[in-house]
Amino acid sequence: MSLLEVADLHITLPTPQGRAAVVRSLGFTLERGQVLGLVGESGSGKSLTALALLGLLPAGAQARGSVRLNGQELLGLPEAALCGIRGQRIGMVFQDPMTALNPLHRIGDQVAEPLRLHQKLGRVAARQQAQALLERVGLPEAAQRMEGYPHEFSGGQRQRITIAMALACGPDLLIADEPTTALDVTLQQQILDLLQDLAAERGMALLLISHDLGLIAQNTDQMLVMYGGSVMESGPTAAVFTHLAHPYSRGLLAARPVLGQRQPLRQHLPVMSGTLPALADLPVGCPFAGRCEFTLAVCHREAPSAQIGADDGHSVRCWRVEPTLYAGLGQAAWRLR
């Protein structure tokens, strides 16, 4: 049994045209100490997936399928039971640390609070543990700075504090949704390294969500590329990047600036034409068909099923990819018709 098992997860939202599917038949497993990346552009369904795992979907949203943590089904659990799981067994780190921190409370008290609430520690013991956590996440002069308020810290330091809060009760799973997007580029990798080190040393699983394919490539063991609520490509990160196959994944990679490579004047980065269709307008066939330059007639009629290549667990949801071929070639082989 894996630590986290998500199977056939569907999420729908109400729209003026009726309920629209925002996440379709999502499935993956995640083991302790492993990092799984969810990548896709804005609106592809990444955050709603994370919120569904936490039982925090917005009003009106409905989820069906299965989300099992250590064998326990989370979908459909009453709010009281979910409250016990959030913070204790699942920790969360979001893009903007200020949304997680209370500006009016000292940071030492904020990190100690879950320890007092969930672990029933006394004030002194909770503060001692809070200090140890703040030291572990690399907050300089943690002992003195526990008395500080959030506005007295830099963005990177605030994110370290929210990580300490998320870790306080020793969760089995940590969900980090765009944890470095609001940070200076020089700090980003430090925070990502910290999250990975913590996952490894605590045997905690990490679900890392980002719109940046390069960031996911460098910091995860497994990855899922999402588009229009469906997984387009997935597998062990090294295998996926060796044979990056789906036209959408390739477009994401091409649209990424390369560090140290200057764009010639007046030459823009390649961009994928078009935009993600509105929820209610997602096509019946492949969600990417309207933007794909390789479409066949079938792409507009029918959604492809996931094709698993060779033995490496790499899977691609595309009518044109020949899985038996691409595994051997170092790049996707396209059917010539």
Ligand X SMILES: Nc1ncnc2c1ncn2[C@@H]1O[C@H](COP(=O)(O)OP(=O)(O)OP(=O)(O)O)[C@@H](O)[C@H]1O
Of the candidate residues 53, 137, 240, 279, the single one contacting ligand X (CB under 6 A): 279
Tell me the window of 24-32, 46-54, 161-169, 298-306 that interacts with ligand X (CB under 6 A). Answer: 46-54
* Chain residues 167-226 in contact with ligand X, contact rule CB under 6 A: 211
163 binds ligand X (CB under 6 A): no
Is residue 13 part of the contact set for ligand X (CB under 6 A)?
A: yes
The 3 state secondary structure assigned to 294-323 is CCCHHHHHCCCCCEECCCCCCEECCCCECH
CA dihedral of 170, 6, 287, 309, whole degrees rounded to 10: 100
140: amino acid identity, one letter: P
When asked if residue 48 is in the footprint of ligand X (CB under 6 A), the reply is yes
Alpha carbon distance 300, 287 (integer Å): 9
Contact partners, residue 78, CB within 8 Å, separation at least 6: none
Q: How many CB atoms lie within 10 A of CB 139?
A: 24
Contact residue for ligand X among 6, 30, 40, 315 (CB under 6 A): 40
Q: Say whether residue 99 binds ligand X (CB under 6 A).
A: no
Binder of ligand X out of 18, 58, 71, 78 (CB under 6 A) = 58
CA distance 107 to 104: 9
Beta sheet of 72-73, edge-to-edge order: 18-30, 4-15, 62-69, 72-73
Give whichever of 53 and 163 is closer to ligand X, judged by the CB atom.
53
To ligand X, the closest distance from the beta carbon of 194 in angstroms equals 22
Binding of ligand X by 42 (CB under 6 A):
yes
* CB closer to ligand X, 80 vs 271: 271
- Indicate the residue among 94 and 153 with the shorter CB distance to ligand X: 94
Residue whose CB is less far from ligand X, 178 or 322: 178
The residue type at 64: R
The structure tokens 């979908």 sit at 75
How many residues are there in the chain?
A: 337
Q: Which C-beta is closer to ligand X: that of 129 or that of 234?
A: 234
Q: Which residues bind ligand X (CB under 6 A)?
A: 13, 22, 40, 42-48, 58, 211, 279
